[in-house]
Amino acid sequence: MDSVWRSVRLISPAALEYLPDLQQSPRRIHRQLESVVQKIDSRKIPDYSNQVSRFHNLRLFFESFLRLGEYTPRSGKRSHKEVQVEVSFDRDKFDPEADVDSVAAKNRLVTHKRSRAELHNAEHYIHGNAPEELIDGPQFFQSVEPLEINRGASLASAARQQIGRNVNRRRAAQLLPGRWEVLNDSEVKKLGARLVKAPENEFASSVALMLVLLTGRELKDVLTFRVVRQRDQLRNKRSVAKAFLVTDSAEWVAGVVRPSERKTVTDKRKSHLQRHHEDVCLPIPQHIWDLISPWVQTRARGAKTASAELFTENDKREIPDQAQAMISSINRGRAARLTLFRIAYHLTEELHRETGDLIEALLISGREPPTGPSAALYYHYVNRQRLVDYYVAVTNRWQQLIFPDAPVVFRQGEFGLDGVVGSDLVIKTNVIRSAIRGLREQCQYDYERLGVQGGLRDLHNSLTNYTLLMLLWLTGYRAVQDPVARVTDFNFHRGTLIITDKTSDGNGHSRLVPLCRPLQEQLRIYLAHTERVRQRLAIIEHRNHPTLFFYLDEDLNELQVRPKSMEEHLWAYTMPLNLNRHWLRGALRQRGVCGSYVNAFMGHWGAGQEPWGKFSSIDPLDYRETVCEALDSIATELGFDVVTESY
């Protein structure tokens, strides 16, 4: 008794309004206490977790009093299994220039992540979530160098300096085009003119620098390139850093960048997923190929059956110093800012402008994404021919800058590339369309059986399944908890929905999602349906959960919608629940939605990249209209018709 009244005394004034009237019967108080935890708004109640615990203790007391269970107060200690966390130290990824000792080089990013074993056993990872979305600890920047106390440094001065660094880091995180580390057209022309007129003793270095520009790889990676005569000779698995030059077709082949962790696909599910490739073949512009062809053809003589090295060991020792000297000669007296880093990064920048999506640019250039869009790389997929078209558009423009007097020759890929690169968990469109059709027909069938025994339960569960699947595939919701627990998260007048579904961050990563027309209509129908169902069931003492979505069991008690209950009831959909996000990101890009809008929709951003943050230039009205138009098209393609058959 003492612990119960202590819990009542400690309830805060803001939470007292949720306390039921104690003049009622004990059974009615117990029923209201079951629902009060779901009603408490965490945004308005300070010390939310402790307040919920006190209401829970009070409910357990009435449960014991009514002999519904034994009263055991909840311990203040967490009872869940301890998660093993590994601390990783990474260099600040927003360092724009590797050749300069910038302030960012003095910081490192400290991240607390799950161990590899814990990650692979996590329920969210099994359902298809990206590992970057499972962070079990703080993430912060730490200074590498100690304080120079002898020179007047102090903790207060270091804190003030860190504020300025954080502001600069958040600005740099926007990855705005045309920043100072990127080459302009004049510098591309100067670099091209120097490489075209290189003497014979600098020919190897000019070829290496041209490949640095064309492939976006660092010079140390270019020196490991190999050459083959035909594409059929490429038998080994291609890596991202080590590319192959094909002489017969004048192209280069390399693996695409992929996340460090990838969920394994079982054999029985491979037939339901789109064909996936791990490399891409990109054509070299004709005039540039004519420039480097003598060197490549000479090396290809030793590639009769297998590949041959493009540069000898002696070349690998001499080229770095010679290439640096060539760059210095270009900069001297010409107001140029060429560095090896800028030359290698320029392809990523140009592709970012051309594609409108940083992830698609990184798939070609082979660079690791910054902290924010790393989860986007886990989900994204794109057709290989589309990447070829982007690359051809960029390199053809470079060809005109480097060879302004030569006849215009636009190089295209001779062979269309099929298949996709990126995520290998992209479900086939016809498979999900078939599942949607089955759930829709089940709703219509159960509506006709509404008058028979169990008809109300069957109709409600079928309509819940259909509405849930529509919500998952038209909002990109991560199936990690209750899908939209409160009706107040919807704004039907504005056509938006607030989603808070990212794990392990205290609900601090919310996103604004536009609602397309079919989803709005279906949600209105479902809300009216659930209200009538609850009014009907109010005459019996059934267990309820004051959440938006719920199932009904055989006794007409409400079952909370969780990933586990969704797996049990979604009979027409047997794939991992979060495969919707793998399909949806690529589908939005196919419909012309720019990468920044897609990242805002999917919830992929890091520090400084918040879509509604201080340094963001996203227009919320244009964002809603653009994404809604694409979602309407997706709903039509998948067959998401509005089901009006409800109770």
Closest CA to 433 of 469, 460, 400, 463: 469
User: How big is the chain, counted in residues?
Assistant: 647
29 or 112, which is more confident? 29
102 or 113, which is more confident? 113
Of the chain, the percentage scoring pLDDT greater than 90 comes to 32
Question: 640 falls in which pLDDT band (50, 70, 90)?
Answer: very high
pLDDT per position as a tens digit, 238-253: 778 889 999 998 999 9
Q: Which two tokens stand for residue 415?
A: 């062979």
Residue 333 CA to residue 210 CA, distance in Å, equals 22
Q: Are 37 and 55 in contact (CB under 8 A)?
A: yes
User: Taking residues 354-377, what's their average pLDDT?
Assistant: 81
CATH level 2 (architecture), domain 429-638? Orthogonal Bundle (1.10)
pLDDT per position as a tens digit, 274-330: 888 888 999 999 999 999 999 999 988 877 778 889 999 999 999 999 999 999 999
Report the side by side order of strands in the sheet with 135-143: 85-91, 107-114, 135-143
Q: Are 414 and 371 in contact (CB under 8 A)?
A: no
Question: 97 falls in which pLDDT band (50, 70, 90)?
Answer: very low
**Where exactly are the structural domains of the chain?**
2-65, 88-172, 185-417, 429-638
Per-residue buried b or exposed e for 474-505, using 16+ beta carbons within 10 Å of the residue's own CB: bbbbbbbbbbbbeeeebeeeebbbebbbbbee
Please state whether the predicted TM-score (pTM) of the whole model is above 0.85.
no
On average, the pLDDT of the chain sits at 80
Per-residue pLDDT, 320: 94
The yes-or-no verdict on residue 633 having pLDDT over 90 is yes
The yes-or-no verdict on residue 225 having pLDDT over 80 is yes
Count each helix (H run) and each strand (E run) in the chain, helices first. 24, 16
Question: 568 falls in which pLDDT band (50, 70, 90)?
Answer: confident
User: Taking residues 169-174, what's their average pLDDT?
Assistant: 61
Question: 95 falls in which pLDDT band (50, 70, 90)?
Answer: very low
Closest CA to 216 of 86, 88, 17, 364: 364
pLDDT per position as a tens digit, 133-154: 666 666 666 777 777 777 777 7
Per-residue pLDDT, 416: 53
User: Taking residues 214-222, what's their average pLDDT?
Assistant: 93
Rounded to 10 deg, the angle between the 48-65 and 26-39 helix axes is 160
Question: 410 falls in which pLDDT band (50, 70, 90)?
Answer: low
Residue 522 CA to residue 497 CA, distance in Å, equals 14
User: Taking residues 576-592, what's their average pLDDT?
Assistant: 90
Tracing tokens 């960012």 back to the chain, one arrives at 104
Question: 131 falls in which pLDDT band (50, 70, 90)?
Answer: low
H/E run at residue 621: helix 620-638
Say how far residue 439 (Cα) sits from the centre of its chain. 28
264 or 192, which is more confident? 192
- Strands 251-255 and 226-228: what pairing? unpaired
Residue 291 CA to residue 195 CA, distance in Å, equals 9
User: Taking residues 391-418, what's their average pLDDT?
Assistant: 78
CA angle 637, 642, 644 (to 5 degrees): 160
Per-residue pLDDT, 85: 52
The yes-or-no verdict on residue 622 having pLDDT over 90 is yes
Per-residue pLDDT, 103: 44
> Tell me, what DSSP letter sits at residue 487?
G
